Structure 1
């Protein structure tokens, strides 16, 4: 087409038909512009198609990562609920007579109140998306918002764990070390291979001590506060899984 226009242009110039020549020149320019627009649109379409493929891979990776996180988180929540129940049981037994206390495994209950652990989520996909700048490949505004919310709540979870750990390490454990038979308590954890203490147990008298009750109350608060943060993470995980599953199908 452009070749034909050029040929016509030469003939028009030779015949001094300037006006007609200008019209053909404008037509030639319009054709060039249209060609450029079409090329740009094709490139844009190809880029969009490639980005959609990349997005589907990202959504699949996110879905798999958060399925793993949900399994781990559900286990962490159940574990810490057991700890909260054991700590609550301890407080319900404080002040009870020795005959009542003898009906319960107090050493095991005390051990459970201390058996907290941190939930460590897999975040390799999210961290790579953020650090590489590929987060903008996710077309869903809600999903991008959930990812940032997850990162923020993970920081809150870390703070909750550190608070719980601080209560235990600086208050509860020093008190128990001074006033309890730790070997009998540790028998229900990693210390089982060491057997029980050869000394008379000092753990029954703890249940007549207001200071012990205060420590257990602090311990209970730390555990339940941590559970609340885990529950918020679970809500975000469920929403991310729904979003990644829905978006991946499209």
Structure 2
């Protein structure tokens, strides 16, 4: 093809027709430009196709990670609802007669108010997206905003947990250590096999103290605040799963 163009160009030069040669030159330039545009279009199409494939893989990875995070979160929420119920039961027993308090196994209830744990979801997919710059491959602005919202909600959740833990470690546990029997309480947890205290336990007497009520009220507030942040995470997870599922199934 190039040889053919050269022959035509040479013939026009030899004929001495400037007009025909200029028209030919313009036509040749146009053909080159069209060829470049077609090449760019093909390249863009191929790049978009690859980006769509990579986006689909990313959405599938997000789906898998957040499905696991959802299961773990549901379990965490259910467990802390039980803890909040136990804490409220303790508060309901404040200043009740000794026989009423003992019927409710107060040591096990106190143990439950202290047996909270942190929610630690998987972050590997999102961390890799951000560090590699691949977050831009997600075409949905809403989904990208949800991912940032997830990170923000996790920060709020960690803050709520730290607040609850700080109150428990610095206020409630020192109070119980100084005024009650921790061994009687701990026998309902991982120290179950060690048995109760060798001293006479009167933890039920704590229920007659205003300071104990204050500590349990702090525990109830801390758990409730933590549950609120867990529910915020739950909402974000549900929205992310909805978006990733919808986009992953698009043609």
- TM-score, structure 2 as length reference: 0.97
Please tell me whether residue 77 in structure 1 is matched to residue 77 in structure 2.
yes
Partner residue in 2 for 1:48: 48
CA contact (8 A) 1:179 1:202 kept: no
Shift in Å at residue 165 of structure 1? 0.4
After the TM superposition, which residues 151-162 of structure 1 pair with which residues of structure 2 at under 5 Å, given as runs?
A: 151-162=151-162
Shift in Å at residue 2 of structure 1? 4.8
Q: Which runs of 5+ in 1 are unaligned?
A: none
Partner residue in 2 for 1:177: 177
C-alpha distance in structure 1 between counterparts of 2:2 and 2:234, whole Å: 63
C-alpha distance in structure 2 between counterparts of 1:142 and 1:84, whole Å: 34
CA contact (8 A) 1:163 1:222 kept: yes
After the TM superposition, which residues 52-201 of structure 1 pair with which residues of structure 2 at under 5 Å, given as runs?
A: 52-201=52-201
Corresponding pairs, count: 250
CA offsets 1:11-59 (integer angstroms, 9 cap, x no match): 1111111111101100000000000000011011111111111111111
SS at match of 1:119: coil
Greater Cα shift, 193-202 or 207-216:
193-202
Greater Cα shift, 5-14 or 156-165:
5-14
SS at match of 2:103: coil
Partner residue in 2 for 1:11: 11
C-alpha distance in structure 1 between counterparts of 2:3 and 2:168, whole Å: 85
C-alpha distance in structure 2 between counterparts of 1:3 and 1:248, whole Å: 50
Partner residue in 2 for 1:239: 239
CA offsets 1:149-203 (integer angstroms, 9 cap, x no match): 1011111111111001000000000000001111110011011111011211121
C-alpha distance in structure 2 between counterparts of 1:6 and 1:228, whole Å: 78
C-alpha distance in structure 2 between counterparts of 1:6 and 1:86, whole Å: 92
Shift in Å at residue 5 of structure 1? 3.4
